[in-house]
């Protein structure tokens, strides 16, 4: 792949390949030109190229007169929370999220602590592609302030909004794998505050990931083996920038990204007093969320893929909870972004107050099988022909073309779309059984 991935979800590329420091410098110049004086919060995950890219970003921002608050190596949601605390005009996160170790990237946030909206992203691109940047003289360049307690501030906010008392009294035992990513330090602070017994796997925040950063079952053999010994009540895994969270039960069973989201949404909706309960998720989220919503008398709205689209839906509808089926819980009472630390607290409250095991709670949820596959593309022009395969394969289905093509079938659905973050087409399939889901996949691939 020669070109960078550049979308509303951020800019990503390969270090030593197509992601040069000049890319970060130019993004900093453009974002600072758009934002003005600022300040802008800058932080990122633990990847080895963190300092290189962050330095270039800060150089670009300050060169056009924008002030910077540097909060170091932190989870993406910590940057989002610090935007709110410091009344900043935006934020930039140095991260490639779940992408493999050779990647890094940049996520842009607006003054609400959310990803840029589509109009804001379009405006940013216009500035980025122009040559009109006005570099400031020595006496008007931006200032840089270093803040070292952002993690504590973030965790304090969470525990102010979500009462931890029931967790602190429950005597829970937790196993967590931040995979040498941004969750390493945050997890220790949070779990100490929650008064749980815990073990952290891969706890050095050095960016040398012990396994592929995407928290999928095939990448989690270490934590599964440890949980199978029967010494913990729950297992958690975070991606590299700690915005996504997946849950494993006390036996080491990976309950799935969508069921991890459902586990948290179920608890939140049970606590909502408002009779007008609302949930917002994206189009590729499992039907288990629809079941949970109906259980609590809540309405469900689905948006295009992408955190910014879910967040906009939450804001517009005044919904109490939402997220994405990749394990990303968004709880507006705390903030406008996916937050694994929020997910940990909510999941532990669910355990502490339900007084059941994870496996017992999840056993009450309907069983769906989700397949997540991807197909590499040579070029973006290959996307449209691939999407047509879905309509060819399922001519009697009902179709939604809000984001790619989603075919709703009698006993499941198939959703195919171009990735915002990688040069691939993503294929999401849900059905009652693995055999049926795999049959649908074969139909797509041969369509």
| Catalytically active residues, by annotation | 97
Residue 302, both tokens: 């689905």
Q: CA–CA separation, 70 vs 90, rounded Å? A: 12
280: left (phi over 0), alpha (psi -120 to 50) or beta: beta
Q: Rounded to whole angstroms, how far apart are CA atoms 35 and 81? A: 18
**Taken in order 249, 254, 259, 264, is the CA torsion positive or negative?**
positive
- C-alpha 307/C-alpha 324 separation (Å) is 7
Q: Which of 240, 235, 295, 241 is nearest to 267 (CA)?
A: 295
Burial class of residue 384, CB neighbours in 10 A (0-12, 13-18, 19+): exposed
CA distance 188 to 91: 25
- Token match 């197509």: residue? 18
Closest CA to 12 of 101, 89, 131, 111: 101
Q: Is 141 left (phi over 0), alpha (psi -120 to 50) or beta?
A: beta
DSSP-based three-state secondary structure for 192? helix
Per-residue tokens: 438:
């795999």
List the structure tokens of 337: 């972004």
Record the tokens describing residue 226, joined without a space. 């440890």
């Amino acid at each position: 792949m020669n070109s960078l991935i550049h979308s509303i979800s951020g800019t990503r590329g390969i270090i030593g390949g197509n992601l040069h420091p000049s890319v970060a410098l130019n993004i900093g110049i453009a974002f600072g030109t758009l934002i003005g004086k600022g300040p802008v919060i800058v932080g990122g995950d633990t990847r080895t190229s963190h300092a290189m890219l962050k330095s270039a970003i800060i150089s670009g921002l300050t060169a056009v007169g924008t002030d910077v608050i540097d909060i170091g190596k932190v989870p993406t949601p910590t940057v989002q929370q610090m935007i709110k605390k410091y009344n900043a005009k935006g934020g930039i996160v140095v991260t490639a999220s779940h992408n493999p170790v050779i990647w890094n990237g940049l996520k842009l946030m607006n003054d609400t602590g959310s990803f840029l909206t589509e109009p804001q992203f379009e405006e940013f691109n216009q500035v980025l592609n122009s040559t009109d940047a006005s570099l400031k003289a020595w006496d008007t360049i931006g200032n840089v302030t270093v803040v070292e307690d952002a993690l504590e501030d973030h965790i304090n906010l969470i525990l102010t909004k979500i009462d931890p008392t029931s967790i602190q009294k429950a005597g829970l035992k937790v196993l967590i794998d931040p995979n040498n990513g941004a969750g390493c330090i945050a997890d220790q602070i949070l779990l100490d505050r929650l008064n749980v017994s815990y073990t952290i796997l891969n706890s050095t925040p050095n960016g040398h990931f012990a396994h592929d950063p995407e928290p999928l079952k095939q990448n989690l053999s270490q934590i599964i083996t440890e949980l199978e010994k029967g010494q913990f009540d729950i297992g958690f895994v975070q991606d590299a920038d700690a915005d996504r969270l997946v849950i494993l039960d006390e036996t080491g069973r990976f309950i799935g990204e969508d069921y991890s989201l459902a586990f948290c949404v179920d608890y939140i909706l049970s606590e909502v007093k408002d009779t007008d309960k609302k949930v917002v998720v994206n189009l590729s989220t499992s039907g288990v969320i629809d079941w949970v919503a109906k259980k609590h008398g809540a309405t469900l709205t689905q948006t295009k893929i992408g955190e910014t689209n879910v967040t906009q839906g939450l804001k517009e509808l005044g919904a109490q909870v939402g997220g994405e089926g990749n394990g990303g819980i968004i709880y507006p009472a705390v903030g406008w972004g996916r937050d694994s630390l929020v997910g940990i607290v909510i999941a532990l409250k669910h355990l502490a107050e339900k007084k059941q095991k994870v496996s017992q709670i999840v056993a009450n949820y309907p069983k769906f099988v989700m397949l997540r596959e991807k197909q590499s593309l040579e070029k973006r022009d290959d996307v449209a022909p691939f999407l047509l395969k879905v309509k060819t394969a399922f001519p009697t289905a009902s179709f939604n073309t809000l984001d790619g093509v989603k075919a709703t079938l009698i006993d499941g659905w198939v959703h195919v779309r171009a990735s915002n973050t990688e040069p691939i087409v993503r294929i999401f399939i849900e059905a009652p059984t693995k055999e049926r889901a795999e049959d649908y996949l074969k139909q797509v691939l041969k369509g």
